Amino acid sequence: MSAFRVLVLGGSGVFGHRLSMGLAREPGFAVFLASRQMARAVRCCEAIRQRNPEARVEPVALTLPQGFPAAIEATRPDLVVDASGPFQGRSLAVLETCIDRGLHYLDLADARDFVQRVVALDVSAEAAGVIALTGASSIPALSSSVVAALAEGLAQVESIDIAILSAQRQERGVAMVAGVLEGVGKPLPVIAEGRPGVAYGWQSQRRLGPDDPLYGALGPRWIGACDAPDLDLLPARYPGLRALRFQAGLEATPAQLGLWALSWPVRLGLLPSLAPLAKGLTRLAEGLAPLGSARGGMQVVLRGRSAAGRVERRAWRLVADRGDGPWVPTLPALLVARQIASGALTRPGARACVEAFELPAFEALLGPLAIETEAIDDPEPEPERGGSHERAA
């Protein structure tokens, strides 16, 4: 049987490299790892083969967008995974080419605008028989599967609170930093006290407290508002939501609060965006490594009502140690690539990658990593809280 061929754009990046490593370990997969520099792509492939001599991985030199058609000719992929980024404000050229050529497509997009624009190509993707899933990563793929698992059996979901906290001592890529910076100081949608509202990226800072599932593992770290596709997707999926927020945090307090300070010139219209500072701030964050640990995590807290009207609080947390956090965003794409390759996923169309897998399938991939997950249910029903859990920012 011929191998299932996957071209990974951004294969030399922090996430693309790990994803390529994961895919190249899959039986029946052949991976083409792309970088703008052939020498870098070769080094990444060698590193993968060193860890797994069986891995089927080849280097490709490719600069987007102009180099993409030639790379398709050279590699003849069944599936293209875009792990390059940043996705904020980016054109849909890669997906449009995939639709024209009849190639399945995944990306790791974390940008609300990009996800909305991908979904708008649903009809053309369907007509071309192409499966195109955007956000096959921590958000919205993993977050939506966690929310679905927590919501199981509830008649109504009333509030969802998601947070991702990175470790100071973990690898971070310029593309991801640029994506986060693009949202700093900019308005983003939230729901509070039953009403749609607006928060500003990296503002509404708060510290983790004893009610937060990650408090025990990470202590009282700061987190603040962050943009995410989930802020559009979850209200559509759970129309009765009375509270919704997505937050993120850097471990070192000077980094977290420094970024909060930098959010003000953007909010006040004095600066258009912090994204151009991505390279410098990535280096600065690396310099702050001694101020932190190799421990990060993700938490989801959901409140809802059973059919009998009982209020329930359910939570889930993931703690990543030894700098293993960057593996997490790659595992959803791996799971979905498996589904496409095996024929388990056949429905064509361009969609957000939501509820694409059951949570246990994701958790089963964590075995070799220093990553643990835990579901935390309140043993007793909570007293009524008027349907809101917002606290002062």
Ligand X SMILES: NC(=O)c1ccc[n+]([C@@H]2O[C@H](COP(=O)([O-])OP(=O)(O)OC[C@H]3O[C@@H](n4cnc5c(N)ncnc54)[C@H](OP(=O)(O)O)[C@@H]3O)[C@@H](O)[C@H]2O)c1
- Nearest distance in Å: CB 32, ligand X: 13
- The values of phi and psi at residue 254, to 5°, are -60, -35
SS3 label, residue 133: strand
> Taking contact as CB under 6 A, which single stretch among the options 93-101, 120-128, 137-145, 261-269 is the one that binds ligand X?
137-145
Determine contact, residues 184/262, Cβ cutoff 8 Å.
yes
> Taking contact as CB under 6 A, which single stretch among the options 13-21, 52-60, 94-102, 364-372 is the one that binds ligand X?
13-21
The closest of 117, 109, 119 to 87, measured between CA atoms, is 109
Choosing from 7, 14, 23, 288, the residue that interacts with ligand X (CB under 6 A) is 14
Which residue, 137 or 373, is less far from ligand X as judged by CB?
Answer: 137
- Nearest distance in Å: CB 25, ligand X: 19
- Nearest distance in Å: CB 71, ligand X: 9
Q: Which two tokens stand for residue 108?
A: 């790791």
Choosing from 6, 72, 92, 108, the residue that interacts with ligand X (CB under 6 A) is 108
Choosing from 6, 7, 72, 83, the residue that interacts with ligand X (CB under 6 A) is 83
- Residues near ligand X (CB under 6 A), total: 33
Choosing from 6, 7, 13, 201, the residue that interacts with ligand X (CB under 6 A) is 13
Torsion of CA 46, 339, 314, 330, to 10 degrees: 20
Q: Is 62 in the site for ligand X (CB under 6 A)?
A: yes
DSSP letter, residue 139: I
**What is the enclosing helix (H) or strand (E) of 105?**
strand 104-107
Q: Which two tokens stand for residue 91?
A: 């054109």
Task: Measure the CA–CA gap between 130 and 350, rounded to whole angstroms.
Answer: 8
Task: Measure the CA–CA gap between 111 and 108, rounded to whole angstroms.
Answer: 9
The closest of 36, 41, 111, 107 to 66, measured between CA atoms, is 36
Choosing from 10, 185, 296, 349, the residue that interacts with ligand X (CB under 6 A) is 10
The closest of 138, 146, 69 to 374, measured between CA atoms, is 146
Q: Is 174 in the site for ligand X (CB under 6 A)?
A: yes
Choosing from 4, 32, 87, 105, the residue that interacts with ligand X (CB under 6 A) is 87
Q: Which two tokens stand for residue 2?
A: 């011929």
> Taking contact as CB under 6 A, which single stretch among the options 94-102, 106-114, 261-269, 316-324 is the one that binds ligand X?
106-114
Determine contact, residues 320/296, Cβ cutoff 8 Å.
yes
Which residue, 179 or 292, is less far from ligand X as judged by CB?
Answer: 179
DSSP for 163-202 reads EEE--SSS---HHHHHHHHHHBTSEEEEEETTEEEEEEBT
Q: Is 249 in the site for ligand X (CB under 6 A)?
A: no
The closest of 112, 166, 118, 120 to 140, measured between CA atoms, is 112
**What is the enclosing helix (H) or strand (E) of 158?**
strand 156-165
DSSP letter, residue 368: T
- Nearest distance in Å: CB 327, ligand X: 11
Q: Is 35 in the site for ligand X (CB under 6 A)?
A: yes
Q: Is 135 in the site for ligand X (CB under 6 A)?
A: yes
Which residue, 162 or 214, is less far from ligand X as judged by CB?
Answer: 162
Q: Is 63 in the site for ligand X (CB under 6 A)?
A: yes
Choosing from 21, 176, 208, 318, the residue that interacts with ligand X (CB under 6 A) is 176
Which residue, 85 or 185, is less far from ligand X as judged by CB?
Answer: 85
Which residue, 137 or 144, is less far from ligand X as judged by CB?
Answer: 137
- Nearest distance in Å: CB 208, ligand X: 20
Q: Which of positions 182-211 make contact with ligand X (CB under 6 A)?
A: none
Residues that bind ligand X (CB under 6 A): 9-16, 35-37, 40, 62-64, 83-87, 108-110, 135, 137-139, 173-176, 179, 329
